[in-house]
Chains A and B, each alone.
Chain A
């Protein structure tokens, strides 16, 4: 049987999940909102994989760093 080549979805076709909800500010206290964009090791995931726009990625970075400082989120797992 001939294997079909695995195809990744086009990263350009991804929509920013924050833009869809028209998020104006990502709160560092809102753990459930930030969690999906943090990987297992506690790093912020790349925009390429999550599809977040640059504006929201910067907000996400800010809120994640604040959450880490306050002990709500890990620096490194």
Chain B
């Protein structure tokens, strides 16, 4: 709810922000009627429209009157502060309006379209999730490849060992040769 100060004169005008939430199940005609009605109630007090921003369908964080999806509209109006109180009640009893909020933006507030940013953010988030998945798969593939390499190496090493194993020399032959060497008198050890 906007705060009002006592010393405000009727000539002062300020910028107010209106945000409305209405169900996404409305038909096009109903939607147009609703917006027209809302605009009419606000403009009856002599307010000037500065901007209008339709957000489109968006999921709700929790159920509101059985609805899980809703549409948002954001208006900026230049109007007298005293008129805000008069407007608030009629807006609350307007049919099909699930929620409405009136905010006084701070000085130097720039009107920005947050719906586009939100959509972009959702996309970025999805991309981030996808990238994570891809990274995980790549890591898994790398691990599998490494394991296969190691196995190949192990098999090769086993083969080398088998080749390296020399045939055992005959014991008798060795002893005979040794005897020959020992009995050799020419050797001077």
Residue positions of A touching B, CB distance < 8 A = 24-25, 27-32, 66, 68-75
Q: Are B64 and A32 in contact (CB under 8 A)?
A: no
- Chain A interface, DSSP helix/strand/loop, else mixed: loop
Mask, B96-139, CB within 8 Å of A = 1, is: 00110101011011001010011001000000000000000000
| Residue of A30, A32, A75 with highest tally of chain B CB at under 10 A | A32
Q: How far is the CA of A29 from the CA of B108 in the complex (A)?
A: 17
B93 within 8 A of partner (CB): no
Q: How far is the CA of A70 from the CA of B112 in the complex (A)?
A: 18
B111 to chain A minimum Cβ distance, whole angstroms, is 10
Q: Are B61 and A25 in contact (CB under 8 A)?
A: no
* Known interface pairs A70-B21, A73-B61; A30-B101 also in contact (CB < 8 Å): no
B98 to chain A minimum Cβ distance, whole angstroms, is 7
B90 to chain A minimum Cβ distance, whole angstroms, is 19
B74 within 8 A of partner (CB): yes
- Chain B interface, DSSP helix/strand/loop, else mixed: strand
Q: Are A70 and B106 in contact (CB under 8 A)?
A: no
Q: Are B103 and A66 in contact (CB under 8 A)?
A: yes
Q: Are A29 and B62 in contact (CB under 8 A)?
A: no
Q: Are B62 and A31 in contact (CB under 8 A)?
A: no
A61 to chain B minimum Cβ distance, whole angstroms, is 15
- Across-interface contacts of A75 in B (CB, < 8 A): 61-62
Q: List 7 A-B contacts (CB under 8 A).
A: A25-B105, A30-B117, A31-B121, A70-B21, A71-B21, A71-B60, A72-B61
Q: How far is the CA of A73 from the CA of B58 in the complex (A)?
A: 12
Please report the total number of B residues contacting A with Cβ < 8 Å.
Answer: 23
**Chain A residue at minimum C-beta to C-beta distance from B100:** A70
- Across-interface contacts of B121 in A (CB, < 8 A): 31-32
Q: Are A68 and B61 in contact (CB under 8 A)?
A: yes
**Chain A residue at minimum C-beta to C-beta distance from B107:** A24
Q: Are B114 and A27 in contact (CB under 8 A)?
A: yes
* Known interface pairs A31-B114, A32-B118; A71-B98 also in contact (CB < 8 Å): yes
A40 to chain B minimum Cβ distance, whole angstroms, is 14
B2 to chain A minimum Cβ distance, whole angstroms, is 12
A39 to chain B minimum Cβ distance, whole angstroms, is 15
- Across-interface contacts of A69 in B (CB, < 8 A): 99, 101
* 14 extra interface residue pairs, beta carbon distance < 8 Å, beyond A31-B121, A70-B101: A25-B105, A25-B109, A27-B112, A27-B114, A29-B74, A30-B117, A31-B118, A32-B121, A66-B101, A69-B99, A69-B101, A71-B61, A72-B60, A74-B61
